[in-house]
Amino acid sequence: MLVALPIFLVTLNVRVLFNAPVVYNTGFERNRIAENTRLPRQEIERIGNEIREYLGNEQEYMTIFLYARPIFTAREIEHMRDVKALLGLVYTVMYVTGAAVALYAAWGFRREGFRFLRRTSMAGAVGGVGLVATGIVLALGFPVFFTLFHQISFSNDYWILNPTEHFLVVLFPYRFWLEATILLAVLTVAQTAAIWGVSRYLHRCFVEEKAKAESSSA
C-alpha cells in the first residue's frame, strides 16, 4: 500500500489531466497561444481537442489540419506516436496498481476491519507525501527534470523540437507543462489527505461504537 496507492493516484491523475479539455483550454489561455499564433481561439481549442481525442483512440498516427493543410511535421507526428505509447504504459500501471490496492484493502479489511483501513491508508499517505515531496524538488529544477524525463522515456530524439519550425512546442510551451505538473502534485496531495482523513474518521466511529457496545453490555 505504501507504494501502490501513491503510484495509482499519480497515474490516475495523469489520465484525468490528459483527458480534461479544461486543462488544455486553460493552458492555452494562460500562455496566450491564440495571441502569439494569431489564430482564432476556436481553432486553437479545436486542435487541442483533436490531440486529446487522438491520445485516447486507436489511431496510430495523428492527422490534424489547419485550413485544409497538415499543421504538424512528420517529426512531431512520430513524437506524438511515442507519447501515445508512453501513456498506454502509464494507464496499464494505473490498472495494475488500482487492482492491487483494491484487493489488498478488501483482504485486510476482512481480517482487521477499520483498524486495517486506518493503518494502511496512513502508509499510503506517507508514501504519497514522499512522492509529492520528490515532485516539488523536481519542480524546483524543472528544466533539468523535463529534459531528463524525455531522455529516459523516449528512445529517440523526436522530442527535440524547435518552436520556429514545430507548432507542437508553440501550442504546449514549457510553462504549460510546469503548471500541469504542479496541478498533478496538488491533486495527488488532496486525494491522499482525503483518503487518510476519511479512513481515520471511520476508524474513530468504529472505536466509539465498540466502546458503547462494551459499556452497555457490562
Please state which of the ranges 53-57, 93-97, 147-151 shows the lowest mean pLDDT.
Answer: 147-151
- Rounded to whole angstroms, the Cα distance separating 54 from 160 reads 21
Q: How far is CA 45 from CA 21, 60, 116, 184, 188, in A?
A: 9, 22, 46, 22, 27
For residue 83, give the amino acid letter: V
Domain ranges of the chain: 4-217
Instruction: Output the pLDDT for position 205.
Output: 72
pLDDT digits (tens, 9 = 90+) for 161-191: 999 999 999 999 999 999 998 898 888 888 8
Produce one character per residue of 114-139: b if its CB has 16 or more CB atoms within 10 Å, e if not: bebbbebbbbbbbbbbebbeebeebb
User: Please, what is the angle between helix 174-217 and helix 21-30, to 10°?
Assistant: 130
Instruction: Write down the pLDDT at residue 135.
Output: 64
The residue written with cell numbers 523536481 in the block is: 138
**What is the share, in percent, of the chain residues with pLDDT greater than 70?**
80
CA distance 70 to 64: 6
**Least confidently predicted of 89-93, 105-109, 168-172, 180-184:** 105-109
Interacting residues of 162 by C-beta distance below 8 A, sequence separation 6+ = 169
Instruction: State the pLDDT at residue 117.
Output: 62
176 or 124: whose pLDDT is higher?
176
What does the pLDDT look like over 42-75, one tens digit per residue? 999 999 999 999 999 999 999 999 999 999 999 9
